[in-house]
Structure 1
Amino acid sequence: MRLTLAVGHHVQVAAALRFWCVFGEAALRSDIGGLRVMCEQLAHLIHVNRSMENVVMHVLPLASGPHAFTSMTATLYGFPPPATSVLVIGSDAGNFTDPDGFVWEAASR
């Protein structure tokens, strides 16, 4: 949780830090916390997406079928060459890897 909050802080204060994410439509339709909470969270996402140029959000439609990262979170960390890493978190565990080819394969999905 502290890491997530720290990333959020740095996205806000460091214009050079770019945050790009893809939400599955099902995540946006899940009623977690009730209607009021969901409306507040969606309004916040819309505000962030419109007001911060370094934040890009996309919605993967249900009709597009299952994605390669279904039930996982993949975070691609980009650093000056050649250091690029990806963090893949599934329902069972998280793995931090950066073998040749894996990062670019994950990024192209």
Structure 2
Amino acid sequence: MSAFISTTRISRPTQRAVVLNRSGRKFVRTAIVLAVLSTSLFGFVGQATAGSESSQAQFTYVTVSAGETLWQLAERVAPNTDPREWIAQVVSLNGLTDNQVHPGQQIAIP
């Protein structure tokens, strides 16, 4: 008995270099320039805005007394406003996660 052995050659696909014509190269150059400019421009605008906001923002602070709540603070500090709206502004302004305050805590008021 004779054995038949077959060898098959597996060819790899050839890799072709990407070749751009003149308009393709121009497009790529333009895209790179726009990306660099937009990154620089947005970074500059963000820095300018942040700097101007921090220099203009000045707040009045109130120190929380023992047993005092934001509702009581609202009645004491802003008696002519709706306490719910005032509390919402205080929570947002101070980055609080809830309406809880602690004795000695300083709260920026709107």
Q: TM-score scaled by structure 2?
A: 0.23
Which structure carries more relative contact order (alpha carbon 8 Å, separation 6+)? 2
Q: Which structure has the greater CA radius of gyration?
A: 2
Q: TM-score scaled by structure 1?
A: 0.23
Q: Which has more strand, going by share of residues?
A: 1
Q: Which has more helix, going by share of residues?
A: 2
